[in-house]
Structure 1
Amino acid sequence: MARLLVIGGGIAGTAAALALHKAGQEVAVYEAHPDSAEDIGAFLTLASNGLRALAELDAAPAVTAAGFPLTTMRLLDAEGTEVARAPLGEADDPVLRYRCLRRGELGAALRSEAVGRGIGIVHGARLASVEDGPGGVTAHFTDGSTASGDLLLGADGLNSAVRRSIAPAARPRYAGQHVFYGYSSWAPAAGEDGTACITMIRGSAAAFGHTTSPRGETYWFARVTAEAPLTADETAHAAPTRWRDLLVPLLRRDTTPAADVVAATTGPVLVTNATEIPNGTPWRRGRTLLVGDAAHAASPATGQGASMALEDAVILAKCLRDAPDTESALSRYEALRRPRVEHNTTVSGNISRGVHAPAPGGRPAARPGDALARQLEWAAPLS
């Protein structure tokens, strides 16, 4: 049994720990933050591919207990005319049906599963450096403590400290949009799909999406093209109504429900920059490997970030389970994962930069011919 250290207790790290534990590995998670809060203001959709991975980790019930299902997507133009409508993913299968939930809810569900299975999660463990030697790898934390193992996984997100130890020259790259998230008390007419429909609006000044929860709360996002990213000072010190007041006039240019949804938002509006990790960034060195956003963060345009991280978890665990040694396992993992996730990064970045519009089918980005279902099937060997 190998001992694995996971740096980062978010979605990617906790899912990886669940998968590795299922594969019979000894695993511990080290999270820099002193508590479990994680982007509480943001929400996400888990696509069918992500839910398939969750099912293979025996974690689907815990996650689907939060949030609500989405079965249909419709697309409106700037005049509010419906131009397309399509099922989302594998909508006919309750286990694989898209799910909308807050990021914090997903993180909490995964952590609860991990703790219930006896996986240790250490909070307040901020990584200082990684020492890789012939007998193992050691994580040094800023409080002076250390942890040693056979393999270290960097699942510490976009600004990964582990990535800096592997590829210090690699930097996240701005993908051309500011992205806003909020929750509104005003819900547009649900239509025939009720609360299981997400509406995407191709507006003149912003790409906008909204869906209404069974409790009548409208979850919304807006992606606004901008030449330069927002600075940390701008996002940290904005007045409470700044982002709402910025968005509403932009959205009023169109005859869609978007402006009314945002105008009825009384709580905080979260804003972030669409950011990506450049394709080709190194993922591993010695006994250290990057997973999730630390390796392949994409702009949020395809909505695949969390689902890709869940895929990573299952396929990495299977590679380590089935390969004759760690080096061949990591080589196999990278060969399987890099083409798929980098395709997603490219597609998502192109959408954010306006190179082309997203297809209305709601399908996860994938290379033609990917045998993803078999790769994710726990009992199936990786061919």
Structure 2
Amino acid sequence: MTRVLVIGGGIAGTTTALALDKAGFEVAVHEAHPDSAEDLGAFLTLASNGMRALAQIDASAAVTALGFPLTSMRVLDDTGKELAQAPLGEAGDPLLRYRCLRRGDLNSGLQAEATRRGIAVHHGNRLTSVQENGAGVTAHFADGSTATAEVLIGADGLNSTVRQAIAPDARPVYAGQRVFYGYTGAASTSDGGARITMVRGSEAAFGFAVSPDGETYWFARVADDPLPAEATDQGTPAGWRELLLPALRKDATPAADIVAATGDDVLVTNATELPPGTPWRSGRVLLLGDAAHAASPATGQGASMAMEDAVILAKSLRDAPDTDSALSVYEELRRPRVEHNITVSGNISRGTHSTSPAARSGAPARPGEDELVRLLEWDASIR
């Protein structure tokens, strides 16, 4: 049985472990964080393509138990006028509906499912280096321990240690926007009903959804210079609110009131991306998820793309005649799609083109949508 090491126990890494386990591989996950919680202040949406990937590896229940579904979207302009309203994704299928949930909850849920299946998830194992030999790969950790396998998958996120080992010149770049996230139960909005509202503000893109228990989840994207590291590391929720509110108060939309009603549950980050063409592979070491193809959050596809990665990698390793062929097939299948997403999302963040209705919904037109369904189908050959 082929043994696979997965470095990173976040969304990409744990989903990859679930897929590899279903494909019959021996897999172990090594996560630097001491527990399953990560980025507790941020939330995300899983799109229908991500939910489809989870369904193929029997992981739907682990995720639909979390957060809440989104079945429609409306778009407002800066005066509060409704411009459009439409179903969101594959709203008619309960397993494929968009889902809004906290990142930390999703990490915990996926890791609990991995543990339930008997997959080893090791916490507090910070990778320091990777050593390849003819037949395998050895991971060296900060505590002096090592682990060896035939394949090593770097799913360790934007600032990947695995990427630094195999492509040290590949670094994330600023994508043109500051991104704010928050939650509040004190906002006076009744915009529930499994709907997300997107606001095209004059100076900020804003989105919000109201959970069944009345909590408003919101985000804002503002074009500006990147925030310095000390601002994001040492700033306060009150300071971040005041940084954002002037841009929102210029418009007659619910955005400013929602943010003003938010307490300490505010997070800010710089939108970043990895340039297309970033190397993904060295021998038996492969990057996936944000470690390989991080995009700005404008299309909301980061987690869903990582889940696609997981299923297609597992099928490639299952169906190809050898490891080298499998990793080559995987990259051939994935690179056009994910790099298209990087480009579309970056263009939205930088304001370099007008977005289509599909792109505004978080589901941009990408190459191979029909082919994707076939590729994700577990019982169909990757070929």
Say yes or no: does 1:266 pair with 2:263.
yes
Give SS of 1:49's match: helix
Contact residue 131 and residue 138 of structure 1 kept, 8 A: yes
Contact residue 187 and residue 262 of structure 2 kept, 8 A: no
Say yes or no: does 1:317 pair with 2:314.
yes
CA distance in 1, matches of 2:144, 2:368: 48
User: Cα distance, 1:238 vs. partner?
Assistant: 1.1
CA distance in 2, matches of 1:292, 1:308: 7
Q: Which amino acid aligns with 1:323?
A: A
Contact residue 38 and residue 103 of structure 1 kept, 8 A: yes
CA distance in 2, matches of 1:269, 1:195: 24
Say yes or no: does 1:202 pair with 2:203.
no
Contact residue 187 and residue 261 of structure 2 kept, 8 A: no
Give SS of 1:131's match: strand
For residues 314-357 of structure 1, the C-alpha deviation after alignment (integer angstroms, 9 at most, x for no partner) is 00000000000000000100000000000000000000000124
TM (normalized to structure 1)?
A: 0.97
User: Cα distance, 1:363 vs. partner?
Assistant: 5.6
Give SS of 2:94's match: coil
CA distance in 1, matches of 2:311, 2:80: 41
CA distance in 1, matches of 2:303, 2:334: 15
Q: Residue 295 of structure 1: which of 283, 292, 296 is its match?
A: 292
Name 1:4's counterpart in structure 2: 4
CA distance in 2, matches of 1:199, 1:369: 25
Name 1:211's counterpart in structure 2: 209
CA distance in 1, matches of 2:105, 2:355: 27
Give SS of 1:79's match: coil
Matches within 5 A, 1:56-71: 56-71=56-71
Bigger Cα displacement from structure 2, 356-365 vs 301-310:
356-365
Instruction: Give 5+ residue unaligned stretches, structure 1.
Output: none
CA distance in 1, matches of 2:266, 2:313: 36
Contact residue 210 and residue 221 of structure 1 kept, 8 A: yes
CA distance in 2, matches of 1:278, 1:35: 31
For residues 80-105 of structure 1, the C-alpha deviation after alignment (integer angstroms, 9 at most, x for no partner) is 00011111110111110100000111
Matches within 5 A, 1:92-107: 92-107=92-107
Give SS of 2:147's match: strand
Name the CA shift for 1:284/1:19 in 2 (closer, same or farther; >3 Å): same
Give SS of 1:241's match: helix
Q: Residue 242 of structure 1: which of 231, 239, 242 is its match?
A: 239
Name 2:165's counterpart in structure 1: 165
For residues 123-178 of structure 1, the C-alpha deviation after alignment (integer angstroms, 9 at most, x for no partner) is 11111100000121000111111000000000000000000111100000100000
Q: Which amino acid aligns with 1:236?
A: D
Name 1:347's counterpart in structure 2: 344
Q: Which runs of 4+ in 1 moved over 6 A?
A: none
Give SS of 2:357's match: coil
Give SS of 1:84's match: strand
Structure 1 vs Structure 2: percent identity of aligned residues?
Answer: 68
User: Cα distance, 1:195 vs. partner?
Assistant: 2.7
CA distance in 2, matches of 1:57, 1:80: 41
Bigger Cα displacement from structure 2, 246-255 vs 298-307:
246-255
Matches within 5 A, 1:58-207: 58-187=58-187, 189-190=189-190, 194-207=192-205
Name 1:364's counterpart in structure 2: 363
Contact residue 300 and residue 362 of structure 2 kept, 8 A: no
Bigger Cα displacement from structure 2, 359-368 vs 299-308:
359-368
CA distance in 2, matches of 1:308, 1:199: 22
User: Cα distance, 1:240 vs. partner?
Assistant: 3.5
CA distance in 2, matches of 1:315, 1:240: 40
CA distance in 2, matches of 1:31, 1:279: 26
TM (normalized to structure 2)?
A: 0.97
Give SS of 1:182's match: strand
Name the CA shift for 1:37/1:79 in 2 (closer, same or farther; >3 Å): same
In angstroms, what is the RMSD of aligned CA positions?
Answer: 1.1
Contact residue 51 and residue 60 of structure 2 kept, 8 A: yes
CA distance in 2, matches of 1:186, 1:357: 34
CA distance in 2, matches of 1:85, 1:35: 40
CA distance in 2, matches of 1:156, 1:317: 18
Q: Which amino acid aligns with 1:352?
A: S
